């Protein structure tokens, strides 16, 4: 196919799923002020060559008039990129490559953090400081700054700690239990950037509501990884102390639901929702739909298999590594009682009710249609 700057616009079917995913990601970043991890830094002169190739030598203004809206690029920014006054954002780099079939191995570039300029400016600043002040004075300032920092405990973020464990806390617990990590200083929940951005925004709202703190959503440029990070020692301590969540490897630690969650239907079902929404699946299984959860943590898996609340929902119990159901009636009951807060699961279920069994790659096409749904979604 001709490059993006050729006489005909690119076919809408050209890499349509990947391009659609990237456009959704960029729009979501702009609308919600998310954290983009990295940018692309070319060797001097090569960024201009790269953009010329991507545009097939169209003028920048003509290119933006023709394609700017499609790939979320305005003329002013594109001119800065072409004149190498700014490094290319990873998302712009990826879209130009996707549309124009560019072989990136022909260019000399490296991936740098979004805040690379702060590090560079800091190095220049310290050189200037050393010309004016002796090292003893500078080290004294550093010591004073450390004592006031979060690391030293002198300025820990003030967060709200819930007095009781309710369904919303239980759902957050389930997400960490599913595809999350807990340390002394931060919590990180992993997802797929192609599908989980709306879900992570929902989780952001939960964290803000329960703890009065805004987590970061971070996007990996060269992988499909997405992370929600909660950086608070107090919140980490809350999950350890109140909900018995151990730091480290969840399988080795045999991490599972504490009694306050597993013994209460009001908490158990939301926790299960968080678990399935992050680490389970609602997906095509041959010619039918199924709900499955796989784990190499026998303690957690046995909790699910033996819980009386699930006796009439999950039917897969003989497997040593998974549970769930392939029964249509049980799946309907799951969405009656447990539900989902993840659009990709909701879409697959609701479309299946219409006789439309979706492949994973087709789910994204329905996001706009279901974007107004109230979460968590339950049919009862």
pLDDT in tens, 171-199: 999 999 999 999 988 999 999 988 999 99
Q: What is the pLDDT of residue 13?
A: 39
Query: Which position has the higher pLDDT, 222 or 63?
Result: 63
Query: What's the token pair of residue 251?
Result: 């399988």
Sequence-ordered alpha helix ranges (H) in the chain: 16-32, 46-54, 60-63, 75-82, 90-100, 116-132, 135-147, 167-179, 197-211, 233-241, 259-262, 265-279, 298-306, 328-337, 343-353
**Do residues 102 and 54 touch, judged by C-beta distance below 8 A?**
yes
Confidence of residue 109 (pLDDT cuts 50, 70, 90): confident
Q: Which residues contact 160 (CB under 8 A, 6 or more apart)?
A: 210, 211, 212
Task: Report residue 8's pLDDT band, with 50, 70 and 90 as the boundaries.
Answer: very low
Read off the pLDDT of residues 129-155 as tens digits, 9 standing for 90 and up: 666 667 777 677 667 665 555 544 544
Comparing 353 with 149, which gets the higher pLDDT? Answer: 353
- Dist. CA 144–CA 301, nearest whole Å: 49
CB-based contacts of 261, cutoff 8 Å, min separation 6: 165, 170, 173, 243, 267, 268, 271
Q: What is the Cα–Cα distance from 230 to 185, expressed in whole angstroms? A: 9
Q: How far, in Å, CA of 210 to CA of 168, rounded?
A: 8
User: Where does the pLDDT of residue 356 fall: very low under 50, low under 70, confident under 90, or very high at 90 and above?
Assistant: very high
Is residue 6 predicted with pLDDT exceeding 50?
A: no
Cis status of the peptide bond prior to 19, with omega within 30 of 0: no
What is the residue whose two structure tokens read 């759902």? 171
343 CB contacts (<8 Å, ≥6 apart)? 195, 198, 199, 367, 370, 371, 373
Domains located in the chain, CATH noted: 16-116 (no CATH), 167-366 (3.10.28.10)
User: Does the pTM exceed 0.85?
Assistant: no
From 77, 76, 89, select the one nearest 29 (Cα to Cα): 89
**Residue 346, burial from CB neighbour count under 10 angstroms (0-12, 13-18, 19+):** buried
Q: Which two tokens stand for residue 311?
A: 């006796």
Q: In terms of residues, how long is the chain? A: 380
Sign of CA dihedral 325, 328, 330, 336: positive
- At residue 375, the pLDDT reads 95
Could you give the 3-state DSSP secondary structure of residue 203? helix
The candidate with the shortest Cα–Cα distance to 344, out of 186, 202, 160, is: 202
The string of pLDDT tens digits covering residues 192-235 is 988 999 999 999 999 999 999 999 988 876 678 889 999 999 99
- What's the CA gap between 64 and 283, in Å, rounded? 39
Q: What are the beta bridge partners of residue 309?
A: none
* 23-56 per-position pLDDT tens digit: 565 566 555 555 555 788 899 999 999 999 988 8
Element (H or E) spanning 38, and its range?
strand 38-42
């Amino acid at each position: 196919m001709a490059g993006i700057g050729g006489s005909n616009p690119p076919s809408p079917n050209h890499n349509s799923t990947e391009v659609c995913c990237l456009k959704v990601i960029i729009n979501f970043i702009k609308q919600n002020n998310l954290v983009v991890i990295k940018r692309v830094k070319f060797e001097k002169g090569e960024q201009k060559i790269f953009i010329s190739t991507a545009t097939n030598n169209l003028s920048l203004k003509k290119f933006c008039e023709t394609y700017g809206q499609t790939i979320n690029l305005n003329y002013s920014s594109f001119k800065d990129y072409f004149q190498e006054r700014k490094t290319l954002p990873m998302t712009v780099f990826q879209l130009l490559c996707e549309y124009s079939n560019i072989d990136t191995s022909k260019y000399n570039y490296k991936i740098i953090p979004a805040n690379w300029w702060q590090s560079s400016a800091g190095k220049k600043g310290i050189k200037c400081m050393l010309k004016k002040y002796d090292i003893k004075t500078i080290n004294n300032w550093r010591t004073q700054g450390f004592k006031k920092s979060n690391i030293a405990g002198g300025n820990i973020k003030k967060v709200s700690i819930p007095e009781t464990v309710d369904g919303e806390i239980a759902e957050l617990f389930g997400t960490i239990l599913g595809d999350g990590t807990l340390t002394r200083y931060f919590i990180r929940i992993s997802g797929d950037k192609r599908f989980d951005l709306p879900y992570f925004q929902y989780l952001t709202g939960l964290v803000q509501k329960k703890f009065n703190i805004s987590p970061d959503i971070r996007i990996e440029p060269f992988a499909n990884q997405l992370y929600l990070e909660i950086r608070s020692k107090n919140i980490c301590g809350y999950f350890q102390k109140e909900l018995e969540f151990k730091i480290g490897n969840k399988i080795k630690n045999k991490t599972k639901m504490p009694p306050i969650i597993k013994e209460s239907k009001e908490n158990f079902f939301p926790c299960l929702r968080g678990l399935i929404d992050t680490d389970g699946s609602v997906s095509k299984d041959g010619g039918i739909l199924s709900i499955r959860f796989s784990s190499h943590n026998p303690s957690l898996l046995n909790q699910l298999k033996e819980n009386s609340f699930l006796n009439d929902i999950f039917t897969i119990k003989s497997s040593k590594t998974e549970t769930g159901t392939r029964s249509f009636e049980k799946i309907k009951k799951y969405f009656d009682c447990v539900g989902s807060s993840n659009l990709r699961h909701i879409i697959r279920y609701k479309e299946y009710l219409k006789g439309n069994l979706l492949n994973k790659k087709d789910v994204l096409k329905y996001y706009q249609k279901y974007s107004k749904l109230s979460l968590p979604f339950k049919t009862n």
